[in-house]
């Protein structure tokens, strides 16, 4: 082999080794990314009438998940009222009842929800002379992870999007 060829070969080998080191360093670096979590879905309704007794909220679930927290507000409640949460499907139903002795109540029913489950919230005044004229219901439903869409962003991509919005 000629001396020039050997020199060229040594230079190429040196460059290849340098590239291999750079690739190895890049491979060792952790990819920095952020996951955006989708918040629970609120299910709510309000009924205003002269005398409310019965269903104040109905909802049909098209994906599985969990009802985690809820709140009921009844205007001008003088006595007690009963709140009933019912989850029904083609197999049967599950329910939980609560007694309200003030205008607002926060509930944590922790019901697992399957596709096709139907939620019904009912309120009843416990005294005949009590009239409910306004009833609010709001519950948080968290879809199962396999039903949720989780977005992954590289930090650089997220920063470039933020800079573009700020301009």
Q: Which domains does the chain have, with CATH numbers?
A: 3-36+150-166 (no CATH), 41-147 (2.60.120.40)
Q: How far apart are CA 85 and CA 121, in angstroms?
A: 5
Can you give the pLDDT of all 167 residues of the chain as single tens digits?
678 777 877 888 888 888 888 777 776 666 555 565 657 889 999 999 988 899 999 999 998 999 999 999 998 778 899 999 999 999 999 999 999 999 999 999 999 999 999 999 999 998 888 889 999 999 999 988 765 555 555 556 656 655 555 55
Q: How far apart are CA 89 and CA 94, in angstroms?
A: 9
Q: What is the pTM of this model?
A: 0.67
Whose tokens are 């409640």? That residue is 77
Residue 36 tokens, joined:
């955006």
User: 139 pairs with which residues across the strands?
Assistant: 43, 70
């Amino acid at each position: 082999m000629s001396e020039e060829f050997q020199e060229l070969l040594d230079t190429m080998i040196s460059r290849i080794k340098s590239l291999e080191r750079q690739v190895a360093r890049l491979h060792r670096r952790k990819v920095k990314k952020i996951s955006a979590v989708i918040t629970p879905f609120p299910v709510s309704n309000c009924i205003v009438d002269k005398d409310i007794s019965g269903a104040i909220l109905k909802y049909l679930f098209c994906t599985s998940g969990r009802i985690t927290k809820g709140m009921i507000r009844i205007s001008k409640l003088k006595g007690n009222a009963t709140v009933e949460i019912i989850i029904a499907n083609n197999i049967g139903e599950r329910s939980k009842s609560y007694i309200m002795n003030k205008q607002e109540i926060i509930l944590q029913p922790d019901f697992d929800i399957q596709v096709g489950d139907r939620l019904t919230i009912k309120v009843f005044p416990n005294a005949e002379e009590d009239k409910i004229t306004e009833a609010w219901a709001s519950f948080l439903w968290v879809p199962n992870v396999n039903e949720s869409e989780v977005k992954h962003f590289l930090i650089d991509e997220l920063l470039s999007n933020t800079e573009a919005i700020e301009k």
